[in-house]
Amino acid sequence: MTDFAATREKFHMPEGVVYLDGNSLGPLPKNAMARARSVIEAEWGEMLIRAWNEAGWMEQPRRVGDKVARLIGAAPGTVVIGDTLSVKVYQALASALEMRPDRRVVVSDSGNFPTDLYMADGLLRSLGRGHELKVVEPEAVADAIDSSVAAIMLTQVDYRTGRMHDMAALTKRAHAAGALAIWDLAHSAGAVPIDLAGCEADFAIGCTYKYLNGGPGAPAFIYVRPDLVGQARPALSGWLGHNAPFAFDLDYRPAADISRMRVGTPPVVQVSILEAALEAWDGVDMADVRRRSIELSELFIREVEARCPQLVLGSPREAQARGSQVSFRFEHGYAAMQALIARGVIGDFRAPDTMRFGFTPLYLGEAEVMKAVDILAEVIGGRLWDRPEYHRKAAVT
């Protein structure tokens, strides 16, 4: 049984804040501060370049990848950390397309995060071989998979509504049609139990600054099915993905395993912080996290619907069809969210009218959820959002 009172103690939370945005940027794990200090002072400062060996900087992306692997149902040695998620989308899709040279269609859906679609579009244009990015409604994905499809490229949990795809069923469907399945786990890793190996996903990618609390700009992760990794030619053939980077060969030869998805020098300070942040997951069972997340989300939905009739649930009502976030639609959602944030309840807003709230059992309980609902009910019921300063749009929403 996961001890959520203990995990809560591992995070710094500013006084008076109810943080319902850990799905966008996780809070600061207390040990990350000490780790950042030691990597800068004791390792960089004192060891200098020797730290690549002596502090294990070179292996770190694999070592940290193993910690992520446990949380996403992947075997050790199948996940590596690096770059940003946008870059990892490109890598996964480029490798997948080469493995299906006779097929020209990539299927994604309109609930995908735009950067995934942008990166795919950019890659397909660069290839210049007539590939098509077919973006259908989330409910229409299964029917769009046919023998023309090289790969499906989907984000499991919709960033706006929290709607969750059935990863096992769609992967199976893709395989039956001879296509590969690429899953973006940005809103899944650390949010819901995932069984990557069990559902035989071919590629998976995700970021680590959301539910995994790696901090702003924390690098992404990539998984390749172990029996396919030897065939996955890295499109971004950087030297650290080489079989022997320090042989300095003039010819590129990829590493035999997931290390081939490394590109260049890792952001050591950031990976170190992530490594520390992932310690919060030691002893945590994702099934317990899921159970708590559903309890908190259901409580929130029930209370908001009872007390804020102006808000319309934008997430699936059925808990099993959602990830770990809840969205409500409200015409004045942006201003309402600003008014909430001004009162210490931090969620976020996604255009055109979605107020988004993330539920993260590692550091949230019923008391925070009820406090958030109380304040939301005041803001909505009293039209407290209707002030000029709450209508001014900031760059990041």
Ligand X SMILES: *Cc1c(COP(=O)(O)O)cnc(C)c1O
Quote the distance between the C-alpha of residue 105 and its chain's center. Answer: 25
- Nearest distance from C-beta of residue 217 to ligand X, angstroms: 8
Task: Give the burial class of 313: count Cβ atoms within 10 A of its Cβ; 0-12 exposed, 13-18 middle, 19 or more buried.
Answer: middle
Q: Could you say which residues in the range 129-188 bind ligand X, by CB under 6 A?
A: 155, 159, 184, 186-187
Distance CA(355)–CA(376), nearest Å, equals 11
Helix axes 286-307, 366-381, angle to 10 degrees: 30
121 near ligand X, rule: CB under 6 A: no
CB nearer to ligand X: pick between 141 and 311: 141
Catalytic residue among 209, 221, 328, 359: 209
Angle at 200 between CA 194 and CA 203, to 5 degrees: 80
- Nearest distance from C-beta of residue 107 to ligand X, angstroms: 16
Helix axes 268-277, 30-38, angle to 10 degrees: 150
- Nearest distance from C-beta of residue 30 to ligand X, angstroms: 24
CB nearer to ligand X: pick between 116 and 275: 116
Token pair for 335 = 């201003």
Count of CB atoms situated within 10 Å of the CB of 36: 17
Which listed residue (8, 47, 52, 86) binds ligand X by CB under 6 A? Answer: 86
134 as an active site residue: the answer is no
85 near ligand X, rule: CB under 6 A: yes
Q: Could you say which residues in the range 258-277 bind ligand X, by CB under 6 A?
A: none
Which listed residue (19, 57, 90, 113) binds ligand X by CB under 6 A? Answer: 113
What letter would DSSP give residue 201? -
209 as an active site residue: the answer is yes
103 as an active site residue: the answer is no
Please give the size of the binding site for ligand X, defined by CB under 6 A: 13
Count of CB atoms situated within 10 Å of the CB of 77: 15
What mask, x for binding ligand X by CB under 6 A, covers residues 200 to 239? -------x------------x-------------------
* DSSP string for 343-377: TTEE-EEETTTEEEEE--TTT--HHHHHHHHHHHH
Catalytic residue among 328, 356, 357, 363: 356
Which residues in this chain contact ligand X in the complex, by CB under 6 A?
84-86, 113, 115-116, 155, 159, 184, 186-187, 207, 220
Residues belonging to the active site: 113, 184, 209-210, 356
